[in-house]
Amino acid sequence: MGLIDKGRMPAPLTKLFNISRSYSLWVYQWGLACCAIEMGAAFASPRYDVMRLGVIPLPASPRQADFVCVSGTVTDKMAPAVKRLWEQMPEPKYAISMGSCANCGGPYWDSYSVTKGIDQIIPIDVYVPGCPPRPEALLEGIVLLQQRIKNEDMQAKWQGDPFTTLQATRAAERGELSAGDSTGETTHDISTDPQPIPERNRPEPIVVGGGPIE
Amino acid sequence: MTMMSDRQQLSYIASQAADARLNVELETEGMTLNIGPQHPATHGTLRIIARLDGEQVIWAEPVAGYMHRGYEKLTEVRTFPQVTTLINRIDWLGSFANEVPFILAAEKLMEIEAPPRAQVIRTILFELSRIANVSLFLGDLGVQMGAVTPVFLAFRDREYVLNLIEGATGGRFHPNFDRIGGLKDDLPKGWIDETKQVMKKLIGFCDENENLLFGNEIFQSRMRGIGVIPADIAKEYGLSGANLRASGVDYDLRRDQDIALSYDLADWKVWTHPDGDSWARCWIRLQETRESCKIVLQLLDQIPAGPIMTKVPRIIKVPEGEAYVSTENPLGEMGYYVASKGGLGPFRVKIRSASFSNMSITPWVLKGVYVPDIVTILASLYFILGDIDR
């Protein structure tokens, strides 16, 4: 990716990359509890058939995966393993939190052994509420994630800047930067930078259905 | 170590010999293999630590607790109607079956009984959740051996059953339909006819699965004679359900105990198998799915008219006392020991879940087996991880 190292990424090329990325997502299934069955129904059942969306379930390892679907109750005993697998995934990576337990603790909100919200451990892009959510809800979450990937500015992301959409970057280049848009520095040269890429600031997460995450 | 089978005894001696480095023919080094806690093909988290000698397991230990959610403590701070919401999620594949023993225990303490119509509908939903549970097992079984087609078939036909449960209860997965003293709602219009059609489809699914999977030569060679559990060992470890019946013990709580469910209205059979190996356990479950379909088909014609709810107070207070009720759940014997002090919620609930006892035999049964057989034996024992850890 020499183009990116030079700090410039033409917009048509970004779009091409983004479309390719969004329709060849390898999902790592982190099935923990009840939601894993609904995830299995979405991924393996002929009725829901996630492959028509360009998502390929069952990679052999998290190191091949593009996004992880955490479905089910995360307990305090399990949380270090979730964190470790997230760290093994290569960038660019995304996370979907499926079900109330992974979102916020769900029916075990006052339990002594349940982690109340996987977002305390890993950054979440899409929340799918429900206990458990129907397979259709998970499919909608995946479609929303694909829309986010399609609009993402890869150059800004690989330089470690906060999440930026292509439209916001273009508006900044034209000098129409409004107060709400965050673009970051675009002159930053990553090839000469000795520092590792900082953990990028995650954007506002998407919630399927638009309601609260419970 | 009482009453081992010959094959296991031989392999046990062999492994001991290897451990003492007496095996001069092929010097092998001990190795510890960690399986789990998570695997993409499972729904739940169980970790198994196995000590290997070459390809042979000489010692294996399950590590439970990765799914522990503290049910027994949480029930102490919930009211009686709220507890059913929680305990749906213990064995998440047969949710309705989890509610029934708890509700029966509460009814026993309150000295009330559900009306006959509610009892028959309860039995039907109980068996439907068993079918939903075991059909996924039959599909998942193939995946453990690298056959992917059965899982598609299982998910296809399981959807019909889930639609029925959703139609009757409103919940696709966790119905939360059982109430103390009856049921929440009556059956919707047209549900009975639809159920009859679906049950015929499910019997077809069993035939298809038997031809496709159970008749397969690779399946048989990986299952027959592997993981043999004799009857007395099975009893000692407290196995229940199909795992016990596959060892030749004729014991089924649906038939053997007098409980407020309408199994006596139907004509059905308790299947047993003398072998006690992995194949027998899977075969028993296949036959039980057929029997469940038959039970549902017979009970659908015998639903009596009448109310679905007895008179219960608006705010349920269970009188002081203790009760233990267990039923034959899809995984085995599941029981609730409920102690009440006359308050709104239970004082203490002890949950006897089938999978915990079924899993406890893994150190015994895995001793002396080969590494690829670990997966098939664990699959055939069939425990649900939420049911182990609670």
Instruction: Please state, in angstroms and rounded to a whole number, the distance separating the CA atoms of residues A172 and A184.
Output: 10
Is B259 among the domain residues? Answer: yes
Query: How far from chain centre, in Å, is Cα A157?
Result: 13
Tokens 């409004």 locate to A178
For residue B102, give both structure tokens.
């708890």
Q: Which residue reads 């990986």 in tokens?
A: B222
B165 Cβ contact list (under 8 Å, min separation 6)? B96, B125, B128, B129, B132, B171, B172, B175
B113 and B202 both lie in a single domain? yes
Read off the pLDDT of each residue in A135-155 and give the average, rounded to a whole number: 84
Q: Do A34 and B66 touch (CB under 8 A)?
A: no
Whether B94 and B130 have beta carbons less than 8 Å apart is answered as yes
A78–B151: do the CB atoms touch at under 8 Å? no
Does residue B357 fall inside a structural domain? Answer: yes
Judgement on whether residues B53 and B139 belong to the same structural domain of the protein: no
What is the distance between the alpha carbons of residues B271 and B284, in angstroms, rounded to a whole number? 6
**B191 in the same domain as B123:** yes
How close, in Å, is residue B182 to chain A by CA atoms? 24
CB contact under 8 A, B152 and A38: no
Strand partners, A31: A71
Average of per-residue pLDDT values in chain A: 76
SS3 string of B298-314? HHHCCCCCCCCECCCCC
Single-letter residue type at A15: K
C-alpha closest to that of B81 among B68, B99, B64: B99
Residues 6 or more apart in contact with residue A86 via CB below 8 angstroms: A62, A68, A93, A95, A121, A122
Decide if B338 contacts B109 (C-beta within 8 A).
yes
> Which of A66, A79, A56 has its CA nearest to residue A145?
A66
B19, B164: one domain: no
SS3 for B251-274 is: CCHHHHCCCCCCHHHCCCCCCCCC
Half-sphere exposure of A93 (CA within 13 A, CB side): 21
| CB spacing of A45 vs B156 below 8 angstroms | yes
Q: Compute the distance between CA of residue A77 and CA of residue A111 in angstroms, rounded to an integer.
A: 13
Q: Looking at the structure, do residues B37 and B130 belong to the same domain, yes or no?
A: no
Q: Among all residues of chain B, which has the CA nearest to that of A29?
A: B40
Q: Which of B37, B73, B89 sits opposite A34 (nearest CB)?
A: B89
CA distance B217 to A128: 42
- The pair of structure tokens assigned to B97 is 């079956």
Residue A199 in this model has a pLDDT that exceeds 60: no
Q: What DSSP assignment string belongs to B349-377?
A: EEEE-HHHHHHTTHHHHTTT-BHHHHHHH
Q: How many residues belong to chain A?
A: 214
CA distances A175 to A11, A168, B61, Å, are 17, 10, 64
Identify the pLDDT of residue B337.
92
CA distance B222 to B56: 16
Give the pLDDT confidence of A57-110 residue by residue, as tens digits. 777 778 888 888 888 888 888 888 888 888 888 878 888 888 888 888 888 888
Q: B66–A58: do the CB atoms touch at under 8 Å?
A: no
Give the Cα-Cα-Cα angle B101, B378, B248 (nearest 5 degrees): 65
pLDDT tens sequence across B289-315: 999 999 999 999 888 888 888 888 888
Residue B103 resides in a domain:
yes
* Weakest-pLDDT range from A42-46, A156-160, B342-346: A156-160
* Whether residue B302 is found in the same domain as residue B349: yes
Res A177 pLDDT > 60:
no
Chain segment A6-31, per-residue pLDDT in tens? 656 677 777 888 888 888 888 888 88
B58 and B85 share one domain: no
CA distance A27 to A67: 5
* Nearest Cβ partner for B74 among A36, A37, A110: A110
Task: Let me know whether B51 and B130 are in one domain.
Answer: no
Say how many C-beta atoms besides its own lie within 10 A of residue A193's C-beta: 11
Determine the pLDDT at residue A189: 46
A138 close to A39: Cβ distance less than 8 angstroms: yes
Q: What is the pLDDT of residue A187?
A: 45
3-state secondary structure A12-52: HHHHHHHHHHHCCEEEEEEECCHHHHHHHHHHHCCCCCHHH
Chain A hits for B46, CB-CB cut-off 8 Å, are none
Residues of B (70-89) whose Cβ lies below 8 Å from A: 70, 73-74, 77, 85-86, 89
Asked, for residue B390, whether it belongs to a domain, the answer is: no
* Phi-psi group of B322: left, alpha or beta (phi > 0 → left; psi -120 to 50 → alpha; rest → beta): beta
Do residue B212 and residue B280 come from a single domain?
Answer: yes
Q: Are residues B55 and B79 in the same domain?
A: no
Tally of domains within chain B: 2
Among A136, A131, A141, A152, residue whose Cα is nearest residue A96: A141
Q: Is A88 part of the contact surface with chain B (CB cutoff 8 Å)?
A: no
The residue with greater pLDDT, A184 or B170, is: B170
Nearest to B42 among A28, A31, A78 (CB): A31
* A-contacting residues in B 118-177 (Cβ below 8 Å): 136, 151-152, 155-156, 158-159, 172-174
Please indicate, yes or no, whether residues B131 and B54 belong to a single structural domain of this protein: no
Tell me, yes or no, whether B306 lies in a domain.
yes
Considering CB atoms only, which of B86, B156, B158 is closest to A107? B86
pTM of the model: 0.81
Look at the block and give the residue holding tokens 């075991």: B134
Within a domain: B335: yes
What's the rounded Cα separation, in Å, for the pair A86 and A84?
5
Stretches in chain B below the pLDDT threshold 70: 1-4, 12-28, 39-44
Q: How far is CA B237 from CA A99, B7, B332, B357, B369, in A?
A: 35, 20, 13, 7, 19
Comparing A40-44, A170-174, B341-345, the range with the smallest average pLDDT is A170-174
Please report, as a single letter, which amino acid is at residue B332. G
* Cis amide prior to B37 (ω within 30 degrees): yes
- Cα–Cα distance, A173 to A164 (Å, whole number): 13
Q: List the single residue in A with minimal CA-CA distance to B42.
A: A31
Residue B75: name the closest of B389, B355, B385, B348 by CA. Answer: B348
Candidates B179, B171, B185, B187; CA nearest to B99 is: B179
Q: Which of B66, B86, B93 sits opposite A78 (nearest CB)?
A: B66
Nearest CA-CA distance, residue A211 and chain B, Å: 20
Sign of CA pseudo-dihedral B8, B13, B17, B20: positive
Task: Quote the percentage of chain A above a pLDDT of 70.
Answer: 72
Secondary structure element (H or E) that encloses residue B197, with its range: helix B191-209
CATH label of the domain that carries residue B306: 1.10.645.10
pLDDT value for A186: 44
B92: nearest CB among A33, A78, A81: A33
**According to the model, what pLDDT value does residue B67 have?**
84
Say if residue B207 is in the same domain as residue B127: yes
Nearest-CA distance from B237 to chain A in Å?
26
| Domain extent for B294 | 71-364+371-385
Q: In terms of pLDDT, which residue wins out, A186 or B18? A: B18
Residue B1 domain-assigned?
no
Q: How far is residue B323 from each of residues A34, B312, B319, B350, measured CA to CA in Å?
A: 29, 19, 11, 11
Predicted local confidence at residue B70, as pLDDT: 86
